[in-house]
């Protein structure tokens, strides 16, 4: 078994606190932090698996996962999309309009779902709860 990483879901109350927890867990000995970005989180996981030797894997233990699921669920995701659709937004509004419509119809992913999808793209990381 390789390294064990523990996310404390009780520390996660919204998107901002998710990234605070990720930085606490993954960016331990560095003097930089990732921003509040799913792309940055994905890059961080690539870096974490790149630091592992050979075929080593990591166990990502996510305590209180259900609390995190709720905190990063429908309400947080809708607020995130609405922010991206603000009048001064530089983001691809059509993309976020489609994401918001899917979320509101019950077919879209929550922010938490996207995080789990990103983790699943890293076969050397085994997610545990």
Percent of the chain with pLDDT over 90: 73
DSSP string, 34-75: --S-HHHHHHHHHHHHHTS-TT--EEEEEETHHHHHHHTSHH
Average pLDDT over residues 50-74: 86
Q: What is the structure's pLDDT at 129?
A: 83
65-104 per-position pLDDT tens digit: 999 999 999 999 999 999 999 999 899 999 999 999 999 9
Tens digit of pLDDT for each residue in 9-27?
Answer: 999 999 999 999 999 998 8
- 10 or 30, higher pLDDT: 10
Q: What 3-state class would DSSP assign to 20?
A: helix
pTM of the full predicted structure?
0.91
- Rounded Cα distance between 72 and 32, Å, is 24
Handedness of CA 68, 89, 118, 42 (dihedral sign): negative
pLDDT at 3 over 90: no
Domain ranges of the chain: 4-73+110-128
Q: What is the mean pLDDT of residues 26-30?
A: 78
Residue 41, pLDDT above cutoff 60: yes
Q: Which two tokens stand for residue 103?
A: 């979320």
Predicted confidence (pLDDT) at residue 53 exceeds the cutoff of 60: no
Is the CATH number 3.30.420.270 carried by domain 4-73+110-128? no
């Amino acid at each position: 078994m390789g390294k064990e990483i523990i996310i404390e879901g009780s520390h996660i109350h919204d998107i901002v606190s998710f990234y605070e927890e990720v930085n606490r867990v993954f960016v331990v000995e560095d003097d930089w932090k990732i921003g509040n970005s799913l792309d940055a989180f994905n890059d961080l996981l690539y870096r974490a698996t790149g630091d592992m030797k050979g075929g080593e894997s990591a166990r990502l233990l996510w305590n209180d996962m259900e609390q995190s699921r709720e905190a990063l669920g429908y309400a947080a995701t809708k607020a995130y999309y609405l922010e991206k659709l603000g009048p001064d937004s530089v983001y691809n509004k059509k993309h976020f309009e489609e994401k918001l419509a899917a979320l509101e119809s019950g077919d879209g992913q929550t922010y938490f779902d996207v995080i789990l999808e990103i983790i699943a793209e890293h076969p050397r990381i085994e997610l545990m709860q």
